[in-house]
Amino acid sequence: MFPMHAAWLEAASPVLDPFGLIRATQDYWQDTFERSVLYWDVMRQRGNQYLEHMEQTKPNVLGFEAEVLVDGRDLPRPVNYELMRILPPLGVTIDPLKRPFVVVDPRAGHGPGIGGFKPDSEIGVAMRAGHPCYFIGFLPFPVPGQHVEDVVDAEIAFMREVGARHVEANEKPVVIGNCQAGWQLMMAAALEPDAFGPILVAGAPLSYWAGERGRYPMRYSGGLLGGSWLTAFAGDLGAGLFDGAWLVQNFERLNPANTLWSKQYRLYADVDHESERYLQFERWWGGHIVLNAEEIQYIVDNLFIGNRLSTAQLITRDGRRIDLRNVRSPIVVFCSQGDNITPPPQALGWVSDLYDGVDDIIANEQTIVYCVHDSTGHLGIFVSGSISRREHAEFTANMDYIDVLPPGLYETAITPRDATGDATDGDYLLEFRPRGVDDLQPLVQRRDDDERRFATVARLSESGLALYQQYTQPWIQAVMTPEAGRWLRRLHPIRLGYKLLSDRNPLMSTVPVLAEQIRRQRQPLSPDNPIAQWERSVATRIEENLEAYGEWRDRISEALFMNIYGQPWLQALAGIGPDMARMRPHPGRAPEHQHFLRTRRAALRERIASGGAREAVVRALIYILGGAPATDERNFKRLKATREELGKSLDLQQFKMLVREQFFILKLDVREALEALPTLIARSDATQVDDYLTHITHILDASGPQSEHVQKRLERVRTLFEKARPAAPNHEAPQA
């Protein structure tokens, strides 16, 4: 006999023992029956929950109490959005002098509330930090005639209302836009920059043609479906309303392994513990809403297929150009490599679309900070508890620092404080590393040949939509009535999946009775049961096969798209030639933009020698820190002290403008800017000069040991400051 491992023998003993196998089989089938009943009871509860949610006038999944402050239906151009104030839960104290946070939820098929879904959420993190919080949500049905631009104007009105309520904070509100709400907020901030403080866009697509070959197949959908005529057709079938369940179905198709198997099997396999979490998530996932046909058509034509937002081609009905370069607030872009709905190329591609280099970003006075997570999925970006406790907590704690960061492009790094040897508050340290626009290329992976393909799709989509509107749409609109549209929504497969498994179905009437009996005497099966182990093994194989199918489907989809829209004759037919400038404008290279840069430089050159000690100290700090590879939140603590020491009358907004101006001057001409330092502090006495140098040294020491490069720059500044020191009086006795 061959020797066998003891552990293997122990695991195989029920199989080798016929009676043990019989007992294991009996236990397994009893547990299978019980799990099946409990599983279907959870599905019944899901259906009931869905129906209750849909019957509510203002459904949402917020985990916090809230009061409505402004109803969007009362605005000059009414919309189905609301501004709500979040009421602090018991034990949470709000500081009215802290800047407010506003969370805007995505209206992309699901209902509102995901940003405050759990205590560990964007709202929860901000409230625990003492910030007043507001929420912009929406109702299930749009106002007749409501347009995307009306929603953008409503969000501007909401932000002005929040700002007016917190004038004493002396800081503009921080606004967080999740997914679809992110691009909406960016549009609003481009139109009315003064209404917004720092903007955090989480998982928000802004550059829709961007992507990586072999990944993120969702960007091919517009071309593979033949353009946006299908969107118009769906809106016409709804009698002017577009069912958000179609958008949810598109999301589900991205991951067939999870949709068709893993999600439901996890519930079935661990129904005793998974049911509460499952029902909580399904309450939001199944909260389908409706959009006006005009709204979704605008989104698909101008964003998903037209990609006009990231190249400043969007123009409102009243003639305003939506140019993201007009945003004056710091922009924080949070995305993830594990997100297949808004991958990093779509979240960050707009930067290289708009700007030729980081000098353009600086000249436009923009501060752009990006953070790329390694693995979390789309929903995890704004609902994961671990993400909220780390990334969102760090962004919340450091918004004031981000607000005074000099213009430029920065990548963040979050490290445990014990790894840095830092003993300050908090578990993590947020670091900002300067980057160039070229540094985004490995993430964005922009290709001219792919740009031609997507431009071809956009042109052909316009033709296909025009043909549909001319020859087919009048017939569909003549036949479809609002009642017919309602019936079609009710018969949507996803909606039916909830309704058929609710108490409205008489076949489900015995399920809750059996489930209650089972719960009273439930004894879960031991995980060592060999048949249960075999079941889990089979489940794993099914999931792997579905994943393989999904990957195969995505490869086929990409190959079809590339081959069809890569044909030169088709591109020529769509009017796409070899001239990339005509195919897609690049705003950073436009003559008027170059003129703006020249004018900006000339105005700044006149201010190089203007100012006093404030300007000199800030200019010196920016010069020295500019020699370091990164800066972090520890510097901000000293910068806040700098503001206080430079003058009590200098508020945060004035200090921020001072930092930005000095940064521009240094970028314009470092040598001349440094040589002007003695002139700026010429009226200071020796003690004041010593105080300036001591203060600068303290700020540098806040970030730990100084590099050799930083020390050299500090020594140069010290020499320049010494030139301004008044000469010591000569006390020698006069000669006889």
- pLDDT number for residue 415: 80
Residue 7: the pLDDT is 45
Q: What is the pLDDT of residues 627-645, one digit of tens each?
A: 556 677 666 666 666 666 6
Distant-in-sequence, close-in-space partners of 456: CB < 8 Å, separation ≥ 6: 565, 570, 571, 574, 576
More confident residue, 109 or 207: 207
For residue range 221-255, what is the model confidence (pLDDT) as tens digits? 999 999 999 999 999 999 999 999 999 998 899 99
pLDDT the model gives residue 3: 45
pLDDT for the residue 15? 52
> Is 400 domain-assigned?
yes
For 699-710, the pLDDT digits (tens) are 777 666 777 888
Examine the pLDDT at 593 and tell me if it is beyond 80.
no
pLDDT of residue 649: 59
Q: Is the pLDDT confidence value at 357 over 70?
A: yes
Reported as a single tens digit per residue, the pLDDT across 450-467 is 999 999 999 999 999 999
**Calpha distance 355→54 (Å, rounded):** 45
CA gap 241, 146 in Å, rounded: 11
Is 333 part of a structural domain of the chain?
A: yes
Q: Is residue 227 part of a domain?
A: no
Instruction: Please say if the pLDDT value at position 587 is more than 90.
Output: no
The answer to whether position 75 is within a domain reads yes
Q: How far is CA 684 from CA 164, 639, 692, 726, in A?
A: 40, 21, 10, 8
Strands 81-86 and 133-138: antiparallel
Q: How far is CA 335 from CA 121, 148, 182, in A?
A: 16, 24, 12
Amino acid at residue number 309 = L
Bridge-based pairing of strands 241-243 and 408-416 is unpaired
Q: Are 392 and 203 in contact (CB under 8 A)?
A: no
Mean pLDDT of 428-448: 88
Single out the residue in 446, 467, 496 at which a domain terminates: 446
- Strands 428-435 and 290-292, by their bridges, are unpaired
What are residue 328's phi and psi, to 5 degrees? -95, -15
The count of domains in the chain is: 2
For the cut 70, the answer to whether the pLDDT of residue 107 exceeds it is yes
Determine the structural domain holding residue 174 and report its residue range: 66-209+307-446
Residue 364 lies in a domain: yes
Residue 125 or 111, more confident: 125
Which of residues 446, 472, 502 is at a domain's end? 446
pLDDT at 418 over 80: no
- Report how far residue 181's alpha carbon sits from residue 95's, in angstroms, rounded to the nearest whole number: 27
**Rounded CA separation 47/282 (Å):** 10
In 3-state terms, what secondary structure has residue 63? coil
Answer whether residue 151 is part of any domain.
Answer: yes
Alpha-carbon gap, residue 264 to 665, rounded angstroms:
59
HSE of 646, CA atoms in CB hemisphere, 13 A: 24
Residue 91: give its domain's CATH number: 3.40.50.1820
Q: Give percent of the chain above pLDDT 70.
A: 88
Collapsing DSSP states into helix, strand and coil, what is residue 707? coil
pTM comes to: 0.88
Alpha helices, DSSP H, located in 376-447: 380-383, 385-387, 393-397, 399-404, 417-420, 441-444
pLDDT band for position 294 (cuts 50, 70, 90): very high
Q: Which residues contact 618 (CB under 8 A, 6 or more apart)?
A: 642, 646, 658, 659, 662
Percentage of the residues of the chain whose pLDDT score is greater than 90 = 51
As a whole number of angstroms, the distance between CA 621 and CA 496 comes to 63
Residue 680 resides in a domain: yes
Residue 346 near residue 218 (C-beta atoms within 8 A): no
The residue-averaged pLDDT of 1-21 equals: 53
Is residue 490 a part of any domain in this protein? no
Min mean pLDDT across 30-39, 643-652, 700-709, 718-727 is at 643-652
Distance CA(316)–CA(320), nearest Å, equals 5
Residues 329-335 have a mean pLDDT of: 93
Residue 728 has pLDDT above 80, yes or no: no
CB 700 within 8 A of CB 706: yes
Looking at 446, 481, 496, the residue that finishes a domain is: 446
DSSP 8-state class, residue 732: P
Overall average pLDDT of the 165-182 stretch: 90
Q: How far apart are CA 111 and CA 247, in angstroms?
A: 12
Segment 266-271 shows an average pLDDT of: 95
Average pLDDT over residues 162-187: 92
The values of phi and psi at residue 576, to 5°, are -100, 110
Q: What pLDDT, in 10s, does the model give residues 116-150?
A: 777 778 888 889 889 999 999 999 999 999 999 99
Position 6 scores a pLDDT of: 47
Is the pLDDT at 172 greater than 60? The verdict is yes
Residue with tokens 């959420």: 121
Q: Write down the mean pLDDT value for the chain.
A: 86
Find, among 348, 360, 338, 350, the residue nearest to 442 by Cα: 348
Question: What are the Cα distances from residue 257, in Å, to 274, 279, 542, 544?
Answer: 19, 20, 8, 8
Cα separations in angstroms, 197 against 17, 323, 476, 546: 71, 17, 46, 45
